[in-house]
Structure 1
Amino acid sequence: MLTSSAAGQLSCRVDNLSRMGCRALIQCRFARDAYLSITFPHTGPIGTSVAWSDGLRSGLEFRQPLHVAVLDDLLRLFDRPRSGADQDFVSLADWQG
């Protein structure tokens, strides 16, 4: 679930996640640097800033990087092991909130 003071609560789909941010599929264009909060399963709201938005997808930068344990919990939840060169990145194509 994504929350914006301007748009309220929006459903979104996250298809990339790292400790520093995520890419969310949201059919809404946001201004660069707009503040949004995103809530993943089993987490509280996480503050983000919009890095870019094209009207279909938005790159969200977490205000504070995710703790490694939180990232690992999300990966376990979606059964997505970290692998490859970028150990802090994962595709979460199945998560919708």
Structure 2
Amino acid sequence: MRRIFTKTAEVFSPRITDRRSIRRRRAGVPCWIGSSALGKRRAELRDISAQGCLCMASLTAQPGTSVLVTIPTFGPMLTTVRWARVDRVGLEFANPLHASVVEHIVKAHPPVPIDH
């Protein structure tokens, strides 16, 4: 299991999660996120796995909404919103990425600290 922290009324409280089957890799990737209905906005991809990613973006999308994520040097990738918070969104790739693609993205864009 992995311990993560949830911000509640300016207090950080630990929450345990073990739902992911594939480990995510930290990254700091500038990207674009959006759809025809939601518009297009700048975002930052903060972690990634073959199955999905976390983007820092203010996106008012409900779980199940399809959005495109565009990373520099890669074409747009179709994703589905799995959850959304005020400033971040969890996305699942429609077509899982090959491990070498994830590795390339992580090496090209080193991680940055996650703001909580």
TM bucket, shorter chain: 0.7 to 0.9
Q: TM-score, normalised by structure 1?
A: 0.76
Secondary structure of the residue aligned to 1:12 is strand
Post-superposition Cα deviations, 1:53-88, rounded to whole Å, max 9, x if no partner, equal 11211100001111122112112212x4xxxxxxxx
Q: Residue 112 of structure 2 is aligned with which of 79, 89, 93?
A: 93
Q: Percent identity?
A: 28
Post-superposition Cα deviations, 1:8-36, rounded to whole Å, max 9, x if no partner, equal 21111111111111111111221111000
Unmatched runs of 5 consecutive residues or more in structure 2: 1-31
Q: Residue 93 of structure 2 is aligned with which of 41, 57, 62?
A: 62
Secondary structure of the residue aligned to 1:42 is coil
Q: CA deviation at 1:5?
A: 1.7
* Highest RCO, 1 vs 2 (Cα 8 Å, sep ≥ 6): 1
Unmatched runs of 5 consecutive residues or more in structure 1: 81-91
Task: Give the root-mean-square deviation of aligned CA atoms.
Answer: 1.5
Equivalent residue number for residue 63 of structure 2: 32
Equivalent residue number for residue 76 of structure 2: 45
Q: CA deviation at 1:39?
A: 0.9
Q: What amino acid is the match of 1:37?
A: L
Number of matched residues?
82
Q: TM-score, normalised by structure 2?
A: 0.64
Structure 1: 4+ residue segments shifted above 4 A = none
